[in-house]
Amino acid sequence: MSDRLRWLEALRTDAPAGLVVFLVALPLCLGIALASDAPLVSGLVAGVIGGIVVGGLSGSHTSVSGPAAGLAVVVAAGAQKLGGFDAFLTAVMLAGVLQLGLGLARVGFLANLFPSSVIRGMLAAIGIIVVLKQIPHALGRDTDFEGDESFWMMNGRDNTFTEIAKAVMSATPGVVIVAVTALAILLLWERPAIKNLPVSKVIPGALVAVVASVLMNEAFKAFAPGLAIGAEGGHLVQIPVFSFGGDLSAIVPRPDLSRIADPKVWIVAMEITAIASLETLLCLEACDRIDPKRRTSPPNQELLAQGVGNFLSGALGGLPITSVVVRSSANVQAGAQTKVSAVFHGVLLLALALSVPFLLNLVPLGALAAVLLLVGYRLARVELFREMWGRGWDQFLPFIVTVVVTVFSDLLVGVGVGFVVSMICTVFTSIHTAIVVVRERDFALVKFTRDLSFLHKYQLRRALESIPNGVHVIIDGARSTFIDPDVQEQIEAFVASAPQRDQRITARELSRKFRLPENLASSGH
């Protein structure tokens, strides 16, 4: 099959998923641009490039890229530090070049350093955050920007929970009706009676829910004006409307290349590179976890694709780009099979935002909140928590710590703390399973199950002290290839004092690892 036919076949199966991702990505691109104090069109530019360019160059089948909430503060602070958004765009271009360098240097291996429990915790936390953040939008309170993942709101006073409380107290009936109806349609579309119909494979439930919400709101305007949802207060999608030609070039910002040698610009570029690259690698690992086919994505190729995308985004007036968990998980849940869905969502962003923005601006955010509520619920399903609990405390603790810290701070802090906890659990487990003591009658076996470091000194001392006097002690080191000098000293001291305890010592596979006491080595034990 030729490449062209392969893409056409993939488009047939992945277009519905791309449409769902488009519906999810549209408000996120606009909301993140708004939170970044950047032009709304910059968010759309980043979304288009993240879909078409990065999606086409990426080696991932499921990852979707675009502007990320985690960079909103960096964008706003960076533009202020550099004295304007045009200089910041130059920093975005340079960040793309630096990411290309990271890809060529093959630093993508860092993605493999994050434990599975932490990645699963990150996914669950993102799911919880999405649900919590979308509840106010579903109730008609749209003061927080779409895509926000931080616990504290930008005003520094409110947080995720106070925002929900205020939304409950000021719920807008029309928005609630639309959101509940949209959610009901989405759930109905998942029922076997509808899911097995051929039409459901072509027309996704998210599209039906969104179209129904638009029609409902138009009906409210005609027959129940008190329930009608207006653009006031940000209750509808708000794409900037412009005409073709001069207006478009006038509203798209351009990078200030005269600042390319400015050290301040390079510092901001390095900040973007570090955060965007780390979030991309984390998201890539997460995407592989939720991919039903368990395919593995090449991280170095992803860094190269992100580098090209960020260079072009900066050059064309767009925000920084990363691989994004919410869009990627929506892509997987919508049944995407290949990266064609990511590219198709970028094409839709470009085509529809340019051609029919007035139609998209009729879509209530409450309906899109319903779509995201379902995405978030699936990421943080109860079964996942039960599964992690069943894997033992050394897996559950890093998982739940990652979840809690991420929900109450942000993604990078949560993953960082979860990583530290995971390392502590690994060390603790290693220490307590490295030395096994078995006693039977007048014999005691001390067996080393792995290499011993200085961290095992205390455990070895306790194990040896637990052996009663007058027994034959066998120290078996066959399964350890390295024994730390501190542990060696502990063994030597135990052997030297054995006559005082009336103990006979036999060593197995130890003499080749370090020099044993003369009395033990010469005895042939």
Each residue of 413-437: pLDDT tens digit? 999 999 999 999 988 887 778 888 8
For the record, the structure tokens of 467 come out as 């052996």
If residue 476 lies in a helix (H) or strand (E), which one and from where to where? strand 472-476
Better-predicted residue by pLDDT, 180 or 197: 180
Q: 213 CB contacts (<8 Å, ≥6 apart)?
A: 178, 181, 182, 363, 364, 366, 367
Number of H helices, E strands in the chain: 24, 6
Residue 235 near residue 364 (C-beta atoms within 8 A):
yes
Q: 3-state DSSP call for residue 154?
A: coil
Whether pLDDT at 518 is above 60 = no
Range with top average pLDDT, 272-286, 417-431, 456-470? 272-286
Residue 345 near residue 300 (C-beta atoms within 8 A):
no
Taking each helix axis from N to C end, the angle separating 72-82 and 85-104, rounded to the nearest 10 degrees, works out to 120
Q: 3-state DSSP call for residue 276?
A: helix
Residue 373 near residue 138 (C-beta atoms within 8 A):
yes
Amino acid identity at 150: S
Question: In this prediction, what percent of the chain has a pLDDT beyond 90?
Answer: 67
Q: Up-side HSE of residue 8: CA atoms within 13 Å toward CB?
A: 5
Each residue of 104-141: pLDDT tens digit? 999 998 888 899 999 999 999 999 999 999 999 999 99
This prediction's pTM = 0.87
Predicted pLDDT of residue 516: 60
**Residue 121, Cβ density class (10 Å: 0-12 exposed, 13-18 middle, ≥19 buried):** buried
Please state the domain extents for the chain. 3-390, 393-430, 434-523
Predicted pLDDT of residue 123: 95
H runs (alpha helix) in 316-380:
325-333, 340-355, 357-360, 365-379
Whether pLDDT at 379 is above 90 = yes
**SS (HEC) of 387-421:** HHHHCCHHHHHHHHHHHHHHHHCCHHHHHHHHHHH
H runs (alpha helix) in 58-159:
72-82, 85-104, 116-139
Q: Which residue, among 321, 268, 313, has the nearest Cα to 74 in the 3D structure?
A: 268
Roughly how many angstroms between the first and final C-alpha of the chain, as a whole number? 69
Q: Which residue, among 14, 58, 22, 8, has the nearest Cα to 299 in the 3D structure?
A: 58
Predicted pLDDT of residue 1: 53
Topology of domain 434-523 in CATH is Transcription Regulator spoIIAA (3.30.750)
